[in-house]
Every structure is written in C-alpha cells, then in structure tokens.
Amino acid sequence: MATYASVKAYLVTVRRCLDAGRVELLSRREKNRATLLRLEFTTRSAVAELAHLRPEDYIGGPKASEINPRGVVWEFVRSIKDIPVYIKLTVKEYGPNENVLCISFHEPEREYEKPYARPDAADGGEEE
C-alpha cells in the first residue's frame, strides 16, 4: 500500500498532465463505455472527473501495468452521481512529457477498501 503522501504526489502528476491536456481514456472498452452511458457522460466529462480524485479515493497501487510495461497503475474508486466508479490510471512517458492513460472507468467488479477514507487515515498513512 502506498503512503498518503505518495498518493497525493501521484495525483499532483495526474493533475499536471490533465492541465496540459495530456490524457486519454480507453472509452472503447465495453465496461468503460457502459458506465459512460449510465452516467450520461462524454469522454470529456469522464476526464474532467479525474481532476477531482483525492487520496481518500485510493484503493491500490502502484502495481505492475500490463498496458504500460515501463510503468505502474494506481487504482481509485470515486462516487459519481451516487454510483461508485473504479478508476485505474497509469502515467506514460513520451520523451520529455508524461501522459495520463485512464485504463478503467467503470463500476467496481470486486470488493475494495479505501485505506485513507477515515478521518484519521492521513495521519497514520504517512509511514509505511
């Protein structure tokens, strides 16, 4: 499990990529497409939601990535329109730039725990 500080730092990187427009959502994946339809979201709406991720939404990572062999994936679950949405991200390097790739944007398929969702979790999450 990543520390609270490392999740926060990762999300800073994600936001920097979002602000620069360097993001891609795999919207052709059936699960992702179905969730976009259920939420009445466009790809742009889904990408905008990524900017609202917080360390309290974290559920896992960093883990080895099959899509990004040189990188890792981070996992989050965020409630959007009262629907829990599983979000899996990786940051890919392209020369001097980093791009965020949103691999998953769908309802969770397994149980999950949000280790930093408790009010006291940030204090206890600073140490590994």
| Per-residue model confidence as pLDDT tens digits over 90-124 | 999 877 889 999 999 999 999 999 999 976 665 54
For residue 24, what are the contacts with CB-CB under 8 A and spacing of at least 6? 99, 100, 101, 102
Q: Give the separation between CA 91 and CA 16, rounded to whole angstroms.
A: 11
Q: Give the separation between CA 87 and CA 38, rounded to whole angstroms.
A: 15
The pLDDT, as a whole number, for residue 70 is 84
pLDDT tens, position by position, for the chain (128 residues)?
899 999 999 999 999 999 999 999 998 899 999 999 999 999 999 999 999 999 999 999 999 998 888 889 999 999 999 999 999 999 998 778 899 999 999 999 999 999 999 766 655 444 33
Give the global pTM: 0.90
